[in-house]
Amino acid sequence: MNKKIRFAVAVVVVASVVGLIYMTISEYRAKSSITAILPRDRGISGMIENVHYSSTHGGRVDWELDAKSAVRSKTGDALTLDKVVMLIHSKGGDIYTLNAKDAIYSQSSGDVDASGGVIVKTMSGVTMNTNGVRYSTKTKKAATDDAVRITSAQMTVTGKGLIMEPDKGTFSLLKEVKAIIRNN
């Protein structure tokens, strides 16, 4: 009798493990579906939809990049991305969310050139708006020469040119800086 119970428990455990593996694989396949479209343009080598890139270092996620679609250049180095959302994880734990209409991601340099109504938001409530910004995944800095507007609950700052360093938690405007500070 004792052997029958052990055998039954073993069968239930094995069936449960197999079921969990099947569900995990099914869920992963559903989330990572990529549609390939063969383009007719000779300067393009391929298009994919629902793109996700990420980078980890030392067991920590540095950045994640999602786009509705990506077109790979013929050289294979640059990806032209559409409807971009990039999460930049700072060492301090803050997440900077970058949204842009378009971006070009260079895999060799690690640069992401975002353009078209770029908005960067921090978890602490700071919002930065500009036309375009280049984020270097290697130096972990963003920069632009364009006009910039930074808002928070306490102030609004405008200017031209910006250096953003998420690991330091800083936005540095370079010229023509104007600030409005609110008393709350």
* Residue 19 Cα distances to 25, 30, 147, 163, angstroms: 10, 17, 55, 50
How far is Cα 8 from Cα 12, in angstroms, rounded to an integer?
A: 6
Collapsed DSSP state (helix, strand, coil) of residue 89: strand
**Structure-token pair, residue 89:** 């994880």
* Residue pLDDT, tens place only, 58-102: 888 888 888 888 887 776 678 888 899 988 888 888 889 999 999
- Those residues whose C-beta lies under 8 Å from the C-beta of residue 167, and which sit 6 or more positions away, are 90, 91, 92, 140
How far is Cα 107 from Cα 97, in angstroms, rounded to an integer?
A: 20
The DSSP secondary-structure symbol of 154 reads: S
Per-residue confidence band for 149, with pLDDT thresholds at 50, 70 and 90: very high
Considering the entire predicted model, what is its pTM?
0.71
Q: Under a CB-based contact definition with an 8 Å cutoff, are residues 161 and 167 in contact?
A: no
